Amino acid sequence: MTRLYDNATIERTEVIAAETVEAVAGMLDIDVPHAAGDTVPPLWHWTLLLERAAERDLGEDGHPVVGIPAPPGAGRRRMFGGGRVTTLGRLRIGEPASKIISVLRSVDKNGRTGPLTLTTVLHEIFQGGELVIREEQDIVYRAAGTATLPTPPPAARAPAGPTLSLDVDERLLFRFSALTYNAHRIHYDAAWCNREGYDGLVIHGPLLALMAGEHYRRQGFDLTGRTFGYRLVSPLTTSQTFTIVPGPDGLERGVEARGADGTVAAVCTVTDS
């Protein structure tokens, strides 16, 4: 069943802060220019213009129970499924920007793990009167008490080409949760992870996608004027090193995020806007 929402929106405006860009660079242990007038690297907007829910508006799992999107029912487990980011320009540090959030669609269906609600949320970021970033985020709500997520099949050997790795431990998960104002307990509460069917702390899906964008940036590939799509296909848990590798059609068409054992955790594509 498809539920069509009204035109309710959330809008937030703030100055793009140099300190946030500096903080992301520190987490990744790299140097990035972050003075007034410098531009924000691709996909780093996930740490900016954030909704900051009050403590009273958080559910037991740490996710907000009000706002956009709101869970379709009590006890539903939220997962980040993926999305599509169209970069039309680069955000500039030291200047105000606005983000408008709305729900595009919500669909109920049955999946391998039981009843699902798939909600697509639209994020539009404006600066200087121009649309700079348009993003669709796919949120998945599973019913409470559904089975553990299935084990992914073994991955094929990655194509040859440049790679980028990131060592992830509890400290880095903590820092990324803080930078994205994400209180979901699967990233810091081992007991809660067991309740949701995970065997350890879960590496954030957006962190996998962010590093895919970083791989493009460090290889000199500009995402401006292109749409970066990302689909989270298998969760990575526990401390480990994940690696961004070229996709089957080569780096310019897409990349994959792979766990230490070769599991494909995210599939990313790049297309012209």
Q: Domain span at residue 251?
A: 2-272
Report residue 89 as tokens: 């320009």
Of the listed ranges 136-145, 158-167, 209-218, 264-273, the least confidently predicted one is 136-145
> Which CATH number does the domain housing residue 99 bear?
3.10.129.10
CA 9, CA 100: separation in Å to the nearest integer?
7
Q: Is residue 77 over pLDDT 90? A: no
CA atoms within 13 A on the CB side of 89: 14
Q: What is the pLDDT of residue 154?
A: 65
C-alpha torsion sign, points 243, 246, 248, 252: positive
The pLDDT-based confidence of 54 (bands split at 50, 70, 90) is very high
The C-alpha angle with vertex 119 and arms to 115 and 121, in degrees rounded to 5, equals 165
Closest CA to 153 of 207, 77, 233: 233
- Provide the pLDDT for residue 158: 78
Residues 164, 244 contacting (CB under 8 angstroms)? yes
Highest mean pLDDT among 29-43, 62-76, 97-111: 29-43
To the nearest 10 degrees (0 to 180), the angle between helices 170-179 and 18-28 is 160
| Closest to 77 in 3D by CA, of 29, 6, 17, 148 | 148
pLDDT single digits (tens) 140-192: 988 776 555 556 666 778 778 999 999 999 999 999 999 999 999 999 999 99
Tally the domains of the chain: 1
Spatial CB neighbours of 60, under 8 Å, sequence gap ≥ 6: none
